Amino acid sequence: MPSRLPVRLRINGADYTLHVEPWVTLLDLLREQLDLTGTKKGCDHGQCGACTILADGRRINACLALAVAYDQADITTVEGLARLAGDGGALHPLQQAFIECDAFQCGYCTPGQLCSAAGLLNETPPRNVPEIRERMSGNLCRCGAYPQIVEAVSRVVLNGRARDEGARQTENAGETAGETAGIPAGATPSSATPEQTP
């Protein structure tokens, strides 16, 4: 068996023919061979969503995707997201909404959040804010910017629908995220106490 296999990919509108080892992931190929470092390596186990990209319009975790399995796929990374908007280099509406809603802090998760949200646009449209929150739950934000992220995605995905409902539910997203993390509603992480065993 040859040590390297040919892989043909269209990445952000450009065609590439690469020769890669069979175990190379799309994440490593993008970052190490093509210097497309917008896609982040977080957990490297498919649990954080920092590496989310679009493959043929569907969102995937690039850290779990072998490059050879995506031969002839159309890949979009955060660097190519504006191209999807078709406005000659203008920001994608999701990118603009993230800026307007201040939906990032450190920014590490932002490329994955943006690509995941762009994938939502290609799927069955979410009906409401809780559904957006659920369908974005595979993308973690260590800074806790979930309310702003959900608001930004809602602006674009719901296209202005349910704005009042979205604002009301987004305000409660911080409490929901805390409860999911084991922090009681109304408590801050410093006031939450770990469970004690007898």
Domain definitions of the chain by residue range: 5-81, 83-180
State pTM to two decimals.
Answer: 0.79
CA atoms within 13 A on the CB side of 53: 33
Please tell me the predicted confidence (pLDDT) of residue 177. Answer: 46
Q: Which CATH class is domain 5-81?
A: alpha beta
Please tell me the predicted confidence (pLDDT) of residue 111. Answer: 98
Identical fold at 5-81 and 83-180? no
Which residues of the chain register pLDDT less than 70?
1-2, 87, 160-198
Task: Residue 53: name the closest of 92, 45, 69, 64 by CA.
Answer: 64
Please tell me the predicted confidence (pLDDT) of residue 160. Answer: 53
CATH topology of domain 83-180: DNA polymerase; domain 1 (1.10.150)
Please tell me the predicted confidence (pLDDT) of residue 1. Answer: 57
Task: Residue 117: name the closest of 54, 25, 187 by CA.
Answer: 54
Which backbone phi and psi does 78 adopt, to 5 degrees? Answer: -60, -30
